[in-house]
Structure 1
């Protein structure tokens, strides 16, 4: 069992706060993703778990054991870095085997463990090549196999796909998902890519400026974002956000009027809706000029200028129009999300 508890951990460098009061229990065998923009504190959090950064305040426990003062090598965690961190003078076999030699694991078990790890990431045919002879995707798989061969209690993955091209990112993401299912090891994965987070995670932690904004399943976070930051960060395209006011159950703002909303609210609000929840309807209640069109193959994203705000609506792949055309938009009240205009916190 490898349950991890982060008990109000903080990291500061002088007056700069990198992570503030991070409090979370990560279940045994859970795949947890730390998600956020650069500088939000996600990698710092992972490095504190690994022991590569000291904790300023708080406590980290793994398997019920406090690890704050343990060296990284004594925490039984394996880390996969963005930069692969392979030994250029060693072939694939020896790169994978290296952690076993360092930890003085019984040499008679090395060959079987190395071959099993290599097979899991489809590297069996490349065992005698050196890193310079491998593609970026193959090097990342070597790094994954080197972590797997350790058989650790915890996997830590720091943006492992960010150096790969789009096609390799997709295939390696599938591989990581499958490995997670096969190995059943507690995994913490850092990324700024919300698609990786949504497709890989059991739970996602969204961070901004060192503070946790929301913790939940990918579905929870997509369907009910806790605030405007999460709403604008999750989704492709991101949720549309319109400033306005609500009175008598009707929202008005940005040349948009939507009735049938909560009659309990009477204030300035930010209204959000997803691109796929609105429609381009000749009978829609709002009309706006078309700003751009993006054909995705299976759909067309129409970007409109609603007042001073750019908003996206997902249309069918057959949709055709010209930039500048006025297009009617229908936004059903039941798909709308309401946030406090001042704090950004969710209201409904």
Structure 2
């Protein structure tokens, strides 16, 4: 069992707050993703769990034991970095084997464990090669195998796909997803890529400026963002957000009038996702504006209009044809709308 608890964890450097009062219990065998932009505190949080950064305040508990004062080597965690960190003078076999040697594991078991780990990441044909002879994706798989061979209680992965091209990211992401299912080990994964978070995680922790913004399953985070930051960060494209006034169930701003909303009043930010809206016949939609841009996506056409300072996107059929400047009408039903306080940024619950 490797349940991890972070209890009121803080990290400060002088007056700068890197992580602010982080509280979370990570269940045994859970795949948790720390998600947020650069500088939000996600990597610092992982490094504190690993023991590579000291905790300023609070406690980190692994498997029922407070580990604040334990060295990294004594925490039974294995870390995979974005930089691979392979030994260039060793071949793949020896790179994978290295953790077993330094930890004094019985040499009689090394070959079986190395080959089992290499098979999991499909490296059997490359064990004799040096890192310089491998592609980026193959080097990242060596780093994964080197973590697997240790059979740790916890995997920590710090943006392991960030150095790979788009095609390799997809295939390696699938491999990590399959490995997490096969190994059933508690995993904490750091990324700024919300697609990685949505596809890999059991739960996602969204962070900004050292503060946890929302914790939930990918579906919960996507369907009910807790605030404007989460709404704007999750989704491709991000949620459409329009500032306006809400009174007696009617939201109004330039080119926009949506009725039938059940809650809230005053200055309100209304959100909806591009795939939930649709094009309407002229004059029958809740938003009417000239086309700002069109993007052909293959399976759909993304249309954007400008409402005040906001770009608002809607997905149309791939066969849709129009020109920039043409007037379009967008159908936005109350059921697809999310409401946020413009002042506080917090979600206004239905």
**TM-score when normalising by structure 1:** 0.99
Using the TM superposition, give the Cα deviation of residue 297 of structure 1 relative to its aligned residue in structure 2, in angstroms. 1.2
- Unaligned 5+ segments in structure 1 are none
Is it true that 1:219 corresponds to 2:187 in the alignment?
no
Alignment partner, residue 331 of structure 2: 330
Structure 1 residue matching 2:108: 3-state secondary structure: helix
* Worse-superposed segment, 249-258 or 277-286: 277-286
Superposed CA deviations along residues 252-306 of structure 1, whole A, max 9, x for unmatched, are 01321000001x4221111000001111111313211111111111111111112
Alignment partner, residue 121 of structure 1: 121
Is it true that 1:308 corresponds to 2:309 in the alignment?
yes
Alignment partner, residue 6 of structure 2: 6
Structure 1 residue matching 2:157: 3-state secondary structure: strand
Structure 2 residue matching 1:284: 3-state secondary structure: coil
Structure 2 residue matching 1:314: 3-state secondary structure: strand
Alignment partner, residue 232 of structure 1: 232
* Worse-superposed segment, 315-324 or 1-10: 315-324
Structure 2 residue matching 1:265: 3-state secondary structure: coil
Superposed CA deviations along residues 27-65 of structure 1, whole A, max 9, x for unmatched, are 000000000000000000000000000000000000000
Alignment partner, residue 208 of structure 1: 208
Is contact 1:268-1:340 (8 Å) kept? Answer: yes
Is contact 1:242-1:254 (8 Å) kept? Answer: no
1:149 and 1:12 map into 2 onto residues whose CA distance is 34
Structure 1 residue matching 2:313: 3-state secondary structure: strand
- Unaligned 5+ segments in structure 2 are none
Is it true that 1:184 corresponds to 2:191 in the alignment?
no
* Worse-superposed segment, 317-326 or 158-167: 317-326
2:298 and 2:110 map into 1 onto residues whose CA distance is 48
Using the TM superposition, give the Cα deviation of residue 308 of structure 1 relative to its aligned residue in structure 2, in angstroms. 2.8
Superposed CA deviations along residues 194-231 of structure 1, whole A, max 9, x for unmatched, are 00000000000000000000000000000000000000
Structure 2 residue matching 1:61: 3-state secondary structure: strand
Using the TM superposition, give the Cα deviation of residue 309 of structure 1 relative to its aligned residue in structure 2, in angstroms. 1.5
Alignment partner, residue 269 of structure 1: 268
Alignment partner, residue 136 of structure 1: 136
1:308 and 1:255 map into 2 onto residues whose CA distance is 12
Alignment of 1:7-156 (within 5 A): 7-156=7-156
RMSD, aligned α-carbons: 0.7
| Dislocated runs of 4+, deviation >4 Å | none
Is contact 1:27-1:186 (8 Å) kept? Answer: yes
Superposed CA deviations along residues 168-214 of structure 1, whole A, max 9, x for unmatched, are 00000000000000000000000000000000000000000000000
2:137 and 2:254 map into 1 onto residues whose CA distance is 46
1:170 and 1:81 map into 2 onto residues whose CA distance is 18
Alignment partner, residue 343 of structure 1: 344
1:32 and 1:340 map into 2 onto residues whose CA distance is 29
Using the TM superposition, give the Cα deviation of residue 325 of structure 1 relative to its aligned residue in structure 2, in angstroms. 1.0
1:320 and 1:191 map into 2 onto residues whose CA distance is 37
1:265 and 1:164 map into 2 onto residues whose CA distance is 45
Using the TM superposition, give the Cα deviation of residue 164 of structure 1 relative to its aligned residue in structure 2, in angstroms. 0.2
2:265 and 2:158 map into 1 onto residues whose CA distance is 44
2:136 and 2:286 map into 1 onto residues whose CA distance is 50
2:232 and 2:248 map into 1 onto residues whose CA distance is 27
